[in-house]
Structure 1
């Protein structure tokens, strides 16, 4: 441990770091990152194009990609209908931001990583406090070594008081000794920050991190008690992720100001605890990016890199040795495979002996294919149907066709699909958007941004794709027409990753209204 780190950790709670906190956004703090071309920053553009080719050839679904070298963006692209102006759900990439909020609170002397968790929740403690629960520190929350017998998030999010539920779980192991992935532990970090600052993590980070870096438009889900979910629930733009990665690469410095102590960044991103597991037949431990050690809500990677990551491939990869940052938003099941392509194509492109000039114009034309098929069918007749009783509480469904679009509505929920093209809109259709974890969202769906497309796959079958382009996910909606009846079936993209799984929404059945 370096002298600066030891000094910081020993004195942080006694001598708060002097933070520069802007009172409001200014023109200075809303500027984009500087742009450059790969060759000027010692990167071969052909390696970047090889990466894009491999992503599409191996059928990984990326939504955005950005690569920085020496603090400048050298490549960027969004797969339509995703775009730079839209936020994207981060899932567990949110954890790294929560960790950073803890870092600011430590730097300001509001808490220490050695503080006991029970000290913050006097009103939520169980009647009997076990020895292990009493010993649990903030540091154990950060390193996912709380000692829980079972991962408690699924139980926690079903209750009204999440902190009380977490503290009531069995702590079977001595905290700090065993790693177990634990999103609820990150929620507890968020709750602690709110207890000591009287602000949500989002509000607390805004003047300290988001405003100085010029990041706007971010959103964060909350629990029933108004605490940001911490371990998930943040939505942010791709460039916001890239700025965060550059901030970490610069060890807390931005535009000549030290926003967060160097020692905290070093402490948060270093190896703290080993994940369980070892060599496997198809992959040795040294090539497994989930077995390189864990920090304070950051994963160590192969080599000297570290990252924040979220389900389905939300990545901020920081490469200190190469002075580079790589950011991706995605919907992929095989996240290790996605990282493998980074190591295979992008890493060798950095500091190539003779960087090759290549046109990256292709990155401006990236797109996810809309629904394919035919734009017309004998069944393409505008019609309204009365639905049988269903769990979604819908009474009617209607279809109309014309001018290159198909308009679908159910009760007062309307979605317009481009025929073999994307059509943007917004709707709060019941049961949407798909999500991996239930906690943090209101029971009644809020309007979601939707890009929709449709096509006829045969004379009687209309398939709609509803892509929720501020999330990783989509719905495939199949409408089977048979005379005066229709059956509308749903398959969300999370369920589709498991061939044996079925969508929780039962098909809607209806007959033509008289």
Structure 2
């Protein structure tokens, strides 16, 4: 596509030798105004591993289920939804953890985000034997009372997958595929499952960059997609409101419902600098994917300088 003049600097930055950015898509007022795919290993129709952007999609699954009255409210304790959470051997505070606590990363479990292992990344041998993932997640010690403190916890998000499955009778991948992706025209995606077949909620979704941008546009338009309300507008507003001051792995953004909130935009973020950006005032959405490693790519700076700064 022809690059509009205001995006020439962005194009040049992305073409820099050694850039770790694989794709970058910008949509303004529902029109794609910029696309970049790194020559040789990225393409518009290629699925990209979006890592923890997956969490933000799971939040939308909860919003859809809430709108369908499958959940009574976000303040419903997980013990009323997930059978494993009713185990009397658990800390009684665990039974008081609610959907809202899980959405805001304030469940209280003690976990170090830097303690990444194979079981955080996907199905693993440890949970294929006598110990199951659900019991492990629920039996971890609590560092804080539920609701008291933000602590980014990839393990805890899996409880939302169990909750959605419990009330819908479908895995999150099946439910999102039917209720969200199909109406958006997202006809290709991959999503890993855990050892018991439950959709992985902390990461593991693969999408095309253009489809990531569709999710951003849905957030921009408060859950409405081309005249159809897929998610209640009130839920989207609540999801993109500040519920905590946040913390690592993002040190300069606050937190909503599995979405990060910066001063001028909100965003979904995954390891390696996978992003969906939504700037509501400028009506701009951007999606970016990058090499799946810890190298610094400066994607947020590119968005702030060359996209927001161009308008």
Do these two structures clear the TM 0.5 threshold for a shared fold by scoring above it? yes
The question of whether the paired residues in 2 share the 8 Å contact of 1:289 and 1:300 is answered with no
Q: 1:98 touches 1:201 (CA, 8 Å); kept in 2? A: yes
1:122 to 1:81, Cα distance in 2 relative to 1, 3 A = closer
- What does residue 8 of structure 2 align with? 49
Cα distance in structure 2, aligned partners of 1:90 and 1:51: 21
Counterpart among 95, 102, 106 of residue 145 in structure 1:
106
Number of the residue aligned with 2:270:
310
Q: Does residue 203 of structure 2 align to residue 232 of structure 1?
A: yes
**Pairs within 5 Å for 1:465-504:** none
Aligned residue number for residue 91 of structure 1: 51
Q: What is the CA-CA distance between 1:193 and the residue it aligns to? A: 0.2
From 226, 232, 249, give the equivalent of 1:255: 226
TM-score by length of 1: 0.55
- CA distance in structure 2 between the partners assigned to 1:174 and 1:124 by the alignment: 16
Q: After superposition, give the CA deviation of every residue in 1:432-485 in whole Å (9 maximum; x if it has no partner).
A: xxxxxxxxxxxxxxxxxxxxxxxxxxxxxxxxxxxxxxxxxxxxxxxxxxxxxx
Aligned partners of 2:85 and 2:138 also within 8 Å: yes
Q: For structure 2, which runs of at least 5 residues remain unmatched after alignment?
A: none
The structure with the largest helix share of the pair is 2
TM-score by length of 2: 0.89
State the partner residue of 1:219: 190
**1:264-301: per-residue Cα shift (whole Å, max 9, x none)?**
10111111111248xxxxxxxxxx96432111110112
Query: Any residues of structure 2 matched to 1:42-191 within 5 Å, and which?
Result: 45-57=4-16, 59-79=18-38, 80-111=40-71, 112-123=73-84, 125-151=86-112, 154=117, 158-160=126-128, 161-191=132-162
1:194 aligns with 2:165: yes
Which whole-Å CA distance do the structure 2 matches of 1:122 and 1:254 have between them? 35
| Structure 1: gaps spanning 5 or more residues | 1-34, 39-44, 278-287, 351-514
Question: Do 1:190 and 1:228's aligned partners in 2 also have CA atoms closer than 8 Å?
Answer: yes
Where 1:322 maps in the other structure, the secondary structure is coil
Q: How far apart, CA to CA, are the structure 2 residues paired with 1:272 and 1:336?
A: 28
Q: 1:165-219, CA deviations, whole angstroms, 9 ceiling, x for partnerless residues?
A: 1111111211111111111122111111011101011111122211111001111
Write the deviation string for residues 388-412 of structure 1: whole angstroms up to 9, x where unpaired: xxxxxxxxxxxxxxxxxxxxxxxxx
Q: How far, CA to CA, are the matches of 1:224 and 1:257 in structure 2?
A: 36
Contact 1:273/1:295 (8 A) holds in 2: yes
Q: What's the C-alpha RMSD, in Å, of the aligned pairs?
A: 2.2
TM-aligned CA deviation for residue 78 of structure 1: 1.2
